[in-house]
Amino acid sequence: MDKVIRQIIGVSLFFLGSQLYSQETNYSLIKLDSLSGEELWNKIIEENKGKVIYGDLCGSWCAPCEYYFSLSDSLHHEYEETNVSFIYLWYRSKEESAIKLIETYKLVGNHYLLEKDQGDSIQKKFNNFGFPCYFLVNRIGELTYINAPRPGSKVIFKHIDKLLEN
């Protein structure tokens, strides 16, 4: 069944052991298991028409993915008030693990928890078999960069800025 697993905007309070923590979050974790990988891709593109998409095909089990999550904050802040959508495609990931990483690294954006077939389809579309895999989609919905520069790279800002100008 399709659903938004969790959508949090503002401040969430949670217990870790006996400690109460407060953490700012702004994300949606979405599971659309009734769609094929291609249908899911088309839905994401359609929902973000007019915006540049900076996307991440990632996994909660992927150590390099987690490293780059820690470098994403500057991108989120730079493009906070612009037409840039941050999309995370969680491949072969457990819901609880994805949520923990999203909240730990304050990964702003829309997160899609992929079924295996959806992930396989998108991975094939990218002709990619490594993680993480970053991608850029222009304002008219064309996939312009597969294996786009990763967070922490100075070059990614230039690529995004160029797509925002067009």
Q: What is the pTM of this model?
A: 0.83
Class of domain 3-165: alpha beta
Show the tokens assigned to 18. 């006996």
Tens of pLDDT, residue by residue over 4-13, are 554 444 433 3
Tens of pLDDT, residue by residue over 20-54, are 333 455 678 888 889 999 999 999 999 999 999 99
pLDDT of residue 27: 77
Contacts of 160 (CB under 8 A, 6+ apart): 52, 54, 75, 79, 84, 136
Strand, coil or helix: 97: helix
pLDDT of residue 127: 83
- Give the CA angle between residues 69, 107, 3 to the nearest 5°: 125
Mean per-residue pLDDT for 13-21? 34
Mean per-residue pLDDT for 60-70? 94
Return the domain boundaries, the chain: 3-165
